[in-house]
Structure 1
Amino acid sequence: MYQLPIHQFLIIYISMEDPTKTNIEKPDTIKERFIRKIENEPNLKFIDALIEKFPDMKIYLVGGIVRDTLVGEHVKSKDYDFIICGVPHPELEKAMTGLGHWTYAGSNFGVYKFRPHDFTLKYDFDIALPRREQPHGTGKRADVDVQSDYTMKVEDDLGRRDLTINAMAWDIKNQKLVDPYHGQKDLKNKVVRSVGNPLERFTEDRSRMFRAIRFSCKFNFEIDLFTYEAIESFMPRVNETIVIQDEKTGKEKEVRITPMDTIRIEMFKALAANPAKAFRLLEKTGAWHEILPELDALRNKTTLWKRLQTTLELLTKENLSQELTEEYDLNISNHDETGDFIFAIILYHIKLALPEPPTTTTKKAARRADPIQQILERINLSRKEKDKATWLLTNIDTITTKLPDNLAEQEQLLDHQHTQDALTLALIIHQTDQQIDDHLQYENQKDAINRFATLFDDSGELPAPFLTGRDVMQALGLDKGGPIINELLQKLRHLQLAKEIKTKTEAIDWISSQ
């Protein structure tokens, strides 16, 4: 059994920033904030109807909506989760049928997905009766027996949750906070702490380690030492597997206890929230060693390792997009630094540290031999995430150092759904060079990047081509197309983007002269 250290209430400070304290909100201020939250959301009118039908019912807001409301109204929550005490399942289902549409989320979690009449939000409401969970001890999130009990107190339900800041409830009828694990105090002190013994929580569900890291990054909170030590001690087990029986075939198969999908989602959320801090936490807790061992090659390259650290620190700056837009001619103010984008930057540096993969005869064999593609498969990126990472890693060097002279060829790089990501990455690479070196690694990089800006019109879009292939054929009096048409269109497009040809009439005249 893990022994509670004397210094359990100390806090380990992983980030470089000094934590700042915030004042605990006065009770009446908190009350007013929750009242506004509920009264200003028209989709919550069903609450009054339920209270009228079940006068003895207790209904609570729980989870992230409570935490984020306490943090401040500037934090926008997407989900509304409720616990209802004192109403049996059949009666609650009958009442919800009259108020809207509901589905049962499954026996593993015992939650209703509820959508009231005239619902306008993106996500359904989650409504549950208080629950007890009995884990099977595998550490797999789905391996729990869930028992709903409408007679339970909400405090008992909160005890099964992961972190103290997520284990609070707002009593809607009595307008008061239910906080048995002192989550509000941890919010005030900017601490991420496990509910109860963290080793027990992580034994129940190992993905909770990554949730602790994610919330530390999201709010720039520090991780309680006891919780942090448990993460360190448990992280080497994150890749463990168990043998189960396939429900369809009846055959035994080996599966991960902690699904890689779950790890990836939590990891990407952490990287998006605070790239530098997320990387440090994943490094210090041993997570990278377990899920991305290819970083070992990068650690041995001191200069590249420093470049990556500097790049991630740049990405953590609040006004980075605005600063880059002011310094360069390109407007990237609408760029969204998602977790998969940050991960692609990490992969870019790993690629620079690894030797070139062996030459192969087929594309399929090349993918198998490519260590970056192996990472993308192992981390189980979605098709969209995989396509973005692959395109960025394939084209970023061209954008930063080998820009083609022909503007039509440049446009082919720009006319892509991930171009904004590539341009942002190019600017960040340039900024990193400025911070690390007195001289730029890519001497003409800034000029090359800014040349892209000349291709856009005043609206920030690429101008439409003046002529189509049919227009060219008509101007030349041809009945059939051929390679010459595409060649002329590309030359014409270059002249248009270079602003040497400015109208459709000029374009037709130029084609006719060829």
Structure 2
Amino acid sequence: MYHIAPTALPVNLRQLTAKLLHQNAGASIYLVGGAVRDILLKRSTKDFDLVATGIAGPKLERWLKRHGQVVLVGKTFGVYKFIPQHWSLEEIDIALPRLDHSLKSGRYRDVKITTSSKLKIEDDLIRRDFTINALALNLDNFELIDVVGSQNDLTKKLIRTVGSPRLRFREDFSRLLRGLRFALQLNFKFESKTWSATKSLATKAVTAKLNNSWLIPREIIAREFLKSLTAQPMDAVKLWDKAGLIARLLPEVNAMKGVPQAKIWHSEGDVFKHSVMALNAFTSNQWQKFFPRQLPKLSVLLGILLHDIGKPLTLQTPTTHKVKHIATPEHDTKGAQLVPKIIARLKLTSYVAPDGDKIDADMVEWLVAKHLLLVHGQVANFKPSTLYKYFYQKADWGLALQQVIFADSWATRPADGHRLFDRLLALRKRLKNLQPLLSNKGDLKLLLNGNEVMKLLKLKPGPEVGKILKILTEAQLTKQITTKAEAKKLLQRLL
């Protein structure tokens, strides 16, 4: 028998379950699923799922209500969402053991549930998706229960379904996507039969409908894809591509395959290879120098993946267009036009990460549209107001743009081996020179606001006011004016 030290669990959780067992003779309670897996892998976890046997549902519900807040949103599936008193972590799922009777449609959660306090924990475990999630820890004696070889697969770092992969996936096709995500989060490989079933069923899983509804809701696809992208950005795209899912879900990204680039700038390969490579930029030493202790947010990752999706639409070659080098004019603007459709189609804004991060559709579109900002113009020639507009007016957007530009530059490998960080270094120097004129938050407080401008110049609201404010911003950032009086004199000269 294998046991886990009680100290692997939070003290208040151990106290709570000990009290439940003491006050309910004949009951047993188990920690199940991902939390057990993570304890064995020495990964931190805040998500605790419990299964209670030997205690009837109504009695369990009454006990839980006396010891915390019970949310019954999961009651249909025999699950109580429980927030114990003095509990600061995520809500706990407490369930009765259950059997799932799949209706064989493959639709997400299209199952008939049988719950019973008389079922054994082993019955509950064999219905689960993957062996690595089919573990239970008895919270009375802390004995580990493994009925499907879970520990062996954890040791070998394998993703394997419980039972037949095809049957398990056909019960709920979203399990395919969970498997991909687990492989990336845990850095595991697929067991051969599980991978074979994943590849053969993936296309159907994400494209099939029943009664005009997707078998896998787009929100579930968004969640699993973005979780995968967060775990290992570059490898996520590669793995989802090997499963055939990039072609089906992101045809705009798939279209970058085979699109050539001028080798003088892009010795790394075609547009797809460049874009996927760019997702790995944050692992470089150079990233740490530019963005110490920072990881890219979801919108940045998506912006990096999509930054060149306009290239297939704008490709010009020496053979077909009589140009000197391969070119893709206006691929930034053409690509940006595709972004809202992609985000809406896959409902990518529906997912909210545990830290609150989520896709900002407007930001991603802007990042793709502006990723060539330092290519289109010389940094030395940028007006201070231009720098302020792009990098300080919305500081989080400005930082995101720098990160996308960095990733694009990092994945651009000129034939001469020279790395293209010069423009970004020049930008950083210019931005540093602006900082003394700004607040700690990066804001520029104008010496005169819009209302004051309209009053002084007797103007009505309109574009003219905006133009004048832009002139004031430029003058203030270049230190031509430093006081309200000087700002008023400048306005008088504009009359």
Does TM, normalized by the shorter one, top 0.5? Answer: yes
**Pick from 279, 283, 304: which aligns with 1:312?**
279
Pair 263,463 (structure 1): closer, same or farther in 2 beyond 3 Å: closer
Q: Does 1:421 align with 2:379?
A: no
Distance (whole Å) between structure 2 residues aligned to residue 335 and residue 374 of structure 1: 29
Which residue is equivalent to 1:295? 253
Which residue is equivalent to 2:471? 491
3-state SS of paired residue (2:83) = strand
Shift of 1:512: 7.8
Amino acid of the residue matched to residue 388 of structure 2? E
Distance (whole Å) between structure 2 residues aligned to residue 460 and residue 221 of structure 1: 44
Which residue is equivalent to 1:333? 292
Shift of 1:373: 3.4
Distance (whole Å) between structure 1 residues aligned to residue 418 and residue 295 of structure 2: 30
Which residue is equivalent to 1:20? none
Which residue is equivalent to 1:347? 306
Amino acid of the residue matched to residue 250 of structure 2? L
Pair 468,182 (structure 1): closer, same or farther in 2 beyond 3 Å: farther
Kindly provide the CA deviation profile for residues 343-372 of structure 1, in whole angstroms up to 9, marking residues without a partner as x: 33222222222249xxxxxxxxx9999544
Distance (whole Å) between structure 2 residues aligned to residue 368 and residue 70 of structure 1: 45
Which residue is equivalent to 2:264? none
Pair 260,487 (structure 1): closer, same or farther in 2 beyond 3 Å: closer
- Gaps of at least 5 residues in structure 1 are 1-25, 245-253, 357-365
Q: Does 1:279 align with 2:249?
A: no
Q: Does 1:258 align with 2:238?
A: no
Q: Does 1:177 align with 2:144?
A: yes
Which residue is equivalent to 1:190? 157
Greater CA drift, 447-456 or 386-395: 447-456
**Pick from 48, 53, 62: which aligns with 1:80?**
48
Which residue is equivalent to 1:8? none
Q: Does 1:101 align with 2:69?
A: yes
3-state SS of paired residue (1:258) = coil
Pair 405,379 (structure 1): closer, same or farther in 2 beyond 3 Å: same
Distance (whole Å) between structure 1 residues aligned to residue 302 and residue 46 of structure 2: 24
Which residue is equivalent to 2:447? 467
3-state SS of paired residue (1:47) = helix
Kindly provide the CA deviation profile for residues 467-492 of structure 1, in whole angstroms up to 9, marking residues without a partner as x: 13279659x96676777765454334
Shift of 1:185: 2.2
Amino acid of the residue matched to residue 425 of structure 1? V
- TM-score normalized by the length of structure 2: 0.81
Pair 380,480 (structure 1): closer, same or farther in 2 beyond 3 Å: closer
Amino acid of the residue matched to residue 427 of structure 1? F
3-state SS of paired residue (2:279) = helix
Which residue is equivalent to 1:378? 345
Whether contact under 8 Å (2:448, 2:487) holds in the other structure is no
Distance (whole Å) between structure 1 residues aligned to residue 446 and residue 339 of structure 2: 40
The count of aligned residue pairs is 453
Amino acid of the residue matched to residue 81 of structure 1? D
Greater CA drift, 55-64 or 428-437: 428-437
Distance (whole Å) between structure 2 residues aligned to residue 146 and residue 448 of structure 1: 59
Amino acid of the residue matched to residue 361 of structure 2? K
Pair 104,472 (structure 1): closer, same or farther in 2 beyond 3 Å: closer
Distance (whole Å) between structure 1 residues aligned to residue 403 and residue 411 of structure 2: 12
Pair 69,112 (structure 1): closer, same or farther in 2 beyond 3 Å: same
Identical pairs, percent: 26
Kindly provide the CA deviation profile for residues 117-142 of structure 1, in whole angstroms up to 9, marking residues without a partner as x: 23323x21110000000010000122
Which residue is equivalent to 1:37? 9
3-state SS of paired residue (1:174) = coil
Q: Does 1:230 align with 2:197?
A: yes
Distance (whole Å) between structure 2 residues aligned to residue 188 and residue 339 of structure 1: 31
Shift of 1:174: 0.9
Which residue is equivalent to 1:54? 24
Shift of 1:299: 0.7
**Pick from 90, 103, 111: which aligns with 2:79?**
111
Matches within 5 A, 1:146-165: 146-165=113-132
Kindly provide the CA deviation profile for residues 417-472 of structure 1, in whole angstroms up to 9, marking residues without a partner as x: 43322211111112222576535679745423543343335986314325132796
Kindly provide the CA deviation profile for residues 132-178 of structure 1, in whole angstroms up to 9, marking residues without a partner as x: 00010000122100111111111211111111111111111011211
Distance (whole Å) between structure 2 residues aligned to residue 44 and residue 264 of structure 1: 35
Which residue is equivalent to 2:266? none
Whether contact under 8 Å (1:351, 1:372) holds in the other structure is no
3-state SS of paired residue (2:348) = coil
Amino acid of the residue matched to residue 374 of structure 1? K
Kindly provide the CA deviation profile for residues 311-349 of structure 1, in whole angstroms up to 9, marking residues without a partner as x: 13334x2xx4x73252x4xxx336443445323322222
Whether contact under 8 Å (2:304, 2:408) holds in the other structure is no
Please tell me the root mean square deviation across aligned C-alpha atoms, in Å. Answer: 3.3
Amino acid of the residue matched to residue 103 of structure 2? H
Distance (whole Å) between structure 1 residues aligned to residue 164 and residue 67 of structure 2: 40
Q: Does 1:412 align with 2:389?
A: yes
3-state SS of paired residue (1:350) = coil
Distance (whole Å) between structure 1 residues aligned to residue 457 and residue 309 of structure 2: 52
Whether contact under 8 Å (1:268, 1:338) holds in the other structure is no
Distance (whole Å) between structure 1 residues aligned to residue 134 and residue 337 of structure 2: 44
Shift of 1:380: 1.9
Pair 227,93 (structure 1): closer, same or farther in 2 beyond 3 Å: same
- Gaps of at least 5 residues in structure 2 are 261-269, 316-332, 351-358
Distance (whole Å) between structure 2 residues aligned to residue 94 and residue 144 of structure 1: 27
3-state SS of paired residue (1:455) = helix
Distance (whole Å) between structure 2 residues aligned to residue 261 and residue 278 of structure 1: 18
